[in-house]
Amino acid sequence: MSQQQSATRQASILIVDDTPDNLRLLSNILGRAGYRIRAARNGRIALTSAQAIPPDLILLDIMMPDLDGFDVCRRLKASEQTRHIPIIFISALDDVQNIVKSFSLGGIDYITKPFQAEEVLARVNSHVALHRLQNNLKEQVAELDAFAHTVAHDLKNPLAFIAGLAEYIQLEYADNSPEGLLELLQKIEDAGHRGINIIDALLLLASIRKEDVVPIPVDMAPIVAHARDRLAHMIHEYQGKLILPTQWPLAYGHSAWIEEVWVNYLSNGLKYGGCPPRIELGAEEQTEGMVRFWVKDNGPGIPVEKQTILFTEFGRLNQLRIEGYGLGLSIVQRIVHKLGGQVGVFSQPGEGSLFYFDLPAVEAS
């Protein structure tokens, strides 16, 4: 057996054609190459066969009675079980309109009749190999994602233990401890909490990448209230003042994700605002059916040349002064883009910063 036959031996091809001679010819060409062949003489048999045991690739004729190749392709791509199967159209129709239509419906290639055996085999080999590489990549990504989640969850427990133990020792020996011990313990506790926050951020980033949500009209007032409650300790620590509007316009979004956007913007405002920080929140309707929500601080501002990298994934500005911006704003951008909006910042040195995110507006009924 040749190396090519060994590589293709386990791949299955479903050939769909209402002409027996075409079925026999294609079956012989691909069978000799080591492929496992299944044949279907009409579209309905093809759909049943593909649903029962999805093949690695489908060769699909266009001109067939009852269900033509275009109808079969539409139904295959509409099904979760079969939409991933690569489809090569084979047809005597060689006009541009039909070729374009086949690709627009999800076909990956188009072979015109009469075809050459070498051409059919070369195209099938290429697409089967590509399909297998894509499947292998998906499996590796899924495996890596599962590994990352496992590591992240396993890391959170010891970090939480370290931070909790450091806090306990501080309280237990607050009045009777060697000089400098409480300060060291505070640093240990802070480092543990920072590690936990990073892990939480990475888990959130992974979930946003994988999860699909349907945006619905959201009431921003309770979302902001929840975000403010989560940051109560920071507001107290930095003696921050938050100024909120009396009402919010409605927009489409996903409450849990939008809360993370507010938490990120507000925590950055508290950390990098003035002394004490004064943070103003607001919203205004934009053109083209969008609503802009914003957070303005009274900090030192951000130079224009550094604003362009703020939302870059895992980007960093000054590591010492703006340590927390990179990953957090990457998550903000991922969330808002997935909800159909945009993010940005307006800032000048000495005049504070205004971070915003736009979401689709809910039209008044």
DSSP for 195-221 reads HHHHHHHHHHHHHHHH-----EEE-HH
pLDDT at 87: 95
Give residue-wise pLDDT tens across range 21-67: 999 999 999 999 989 999 999 999 999 999 999 999 999 999 998 89
pLDDT at 262: 95
Where in the chain is CATH 3.40.50.2300?
A: 3-115
Percent of the chain exceeding pLDDT 70 equals 79
Q: Mean pLDDT throughout 151-170?
A: 71
Give residue-wise pLDDT tens across range 333-350: 888 988 999 999 999 888
pLDDT at 312: 67
Q: Mean pLDDT throughout 352-361?
A: 95
Q: Mean pLDDT throughout 145-163?
A: 67
pLDDT at 308: 73
pLDDT reading at 195 higher than 90? no
Please tell me whether residue 61 adopts helix, strand or coil conformation.
Answer: strand
Return the axis-axis angle of helices 325-338 and 255-272, rounded to nearest 10°. 150
* CATH number among 3.50.30.50, 2.40.30.10, 3.30.565.10, 3.40.640.10, domain 213-365: 3.30.565.10
CATH number of the domain located at residue range(s) 132-211 in this protein? 1.10.287
Provide the CATH topology of domain 3-115: Rossmann fold (3.40.50)
Where in the chain is CATH 3.30.565.10?
A: 213-365
Give residue-wise pLDDT tens across range 127-148: 998 888 888 887 777 666 665 6
pLDDT-based confidence at residue 329 (cuts at 50, 70, 90): confident
Q: Which of 92-106, 191-205, 213-227, 316-330 has the lowest mean pLDDT?
A: 316-330
pLDDT reading at 117 higher than 60? yes
Please, which contacts does 92-100 make with residues 24 or more away whose CB atoms are closer than 8 Å? 92/63, 93/62, 93/63, 98/62
pLDDT at 198: 64
Lookup: tokens for 109: 């290639």
pLDDT at 311: 78
Q: Where are the alpha helices (DSSP H) in 240-318?
A: 255-272, 304-307
Lookup: tokens for 21: 């001679």
Q: Average pLDDT, whole number, for the chain?
A: 83
pLDDT reading at 206 higher than 80? no
pLDDT reading at 276 higher than 90? yes
pLDDT at 317: 37
pLDDT-based confidence at residue 177 (cuts at 50, 70, 90): low
Give residue-wise pLDDT tens across range 2-31: 444 444 447 899 999 999 999 999 999 999
Lookup: tokens for 278: 């004064």
pLDDT reading at 190 higher than 80? no
**pTM, rounded to two decimals:** 0.51
Q: What angle do CA 338, 230, 308 make, to 5 degrees?
A: 45
Give residue-wise pLDDT tens across range 233-245: 889 989 999 999 9
Give residue-wise pLDDT tens across range 292-327: 999 999 999 888 877 777 776 544 434 333 444 446
Separation of CA 234 from chain center: 30
Amino acid present at 147: F
Amino acid present at 206: A
Where in the chain is CATH 1.10.287?
A: 132-211
pLDDT at 171: 76
